[in-house]
Amino acid sequence: MPKVSEEYREARRDEIAQAAIRCLERQGVRETSIADIVTESGLSTGAIYSHFSNKAELARYIVGRFLIVRLDALEARGHAGEVIPPRQALESMLAVFEGAGLSPALVVQFWGEAMVDAGLKTEMTTTAARLFHALAAATLPWARTRTGSDDEALALAQESARSIAALAQGYIANSAVFGPRKPAEYVAAAASILST
């Protein structure tokens, strides 16, 4: 039997993830089963289960594919010493919702389902911790330009990370309930209101 390349496996996982996103957005997280994803993707049940054993694992992959990659890039820029103000970090993070195929409504559904599904809750908690760590690392060089000590800079970067995450959650909830909004417009409006 020929060996399957990692590129092929990744392409298949992406295909399954896109089918899952379509089902999840149409039917909701609770109502979507692996059988629905099988039907949507046109693949066999075995093909789906060879990549994902449950919805929590699929959610981890979707978040990793869309959000973690962006967080890793932000964190790397911070580690390289690039000064990234909180506003720029927020805009960069929210850009995942423009054209990437991940909808704010789906994220809100995952949040809700995580309250009753232990596997999803674990994934969401892990993702949140990763988010805070990456945002703090990304904004640390900026914080160093605003404070007198490393301890103060770290505290400011951590507080910035919490605020950026809260603003991102606001964007996600607002877009899910009231309809799409460009991230740059949301950030500009928030900055304008908060600066007065």
pLDDT digits (tens, 9 = 90+) for 86-112: 999 999 888 888 766 678 888 888 888
For the record, the structure tokens of 133 come out as 């760590």
Domain of 187 in residue numbering reads as: 54-195
Q: Are residues 117 and 188 in the same domain?
A: yes
Tell me the Cα Rg of the chain.
19
Q: Are residues 40 and 67 in the same domain?
A: no
**Average confidence score pLDDT of the chain:** 88
How many folded domains does the chain comprise?
A: 2
What is d(CA 29, CA 109) in angstroms, rounded to the nearest whole number? 6
Q: Specify the higher pLDDT residue, 63 or 188.
A: 188
Q: Are residues 33 and 87 in the same domain?
A: no
- What is the pLDDT confidence band of residue 32, given thresholds at 50, 70 and 90? confident
Q: Are residues 29 and 84 in the same domain?
A: no
What is d(CA 139, CA 136) in angstroms, rounded to the nearest whole number? 5
- Boundary (domain end) residue, out of 53, 78, 96: 53
Q: Are residues 78 and 106 in the same domain?
A: yes
Residue 53 pLDDT greater than 90, yes or no? no
pLDDT in tens, 111-147: 888 888 888 888 888 888 999 999 999 999 999 999 9
Q: Are residues 47 and 65 in the same domain?
A: no
Q: Are residues 47 and 75 in the same domain?
A: no
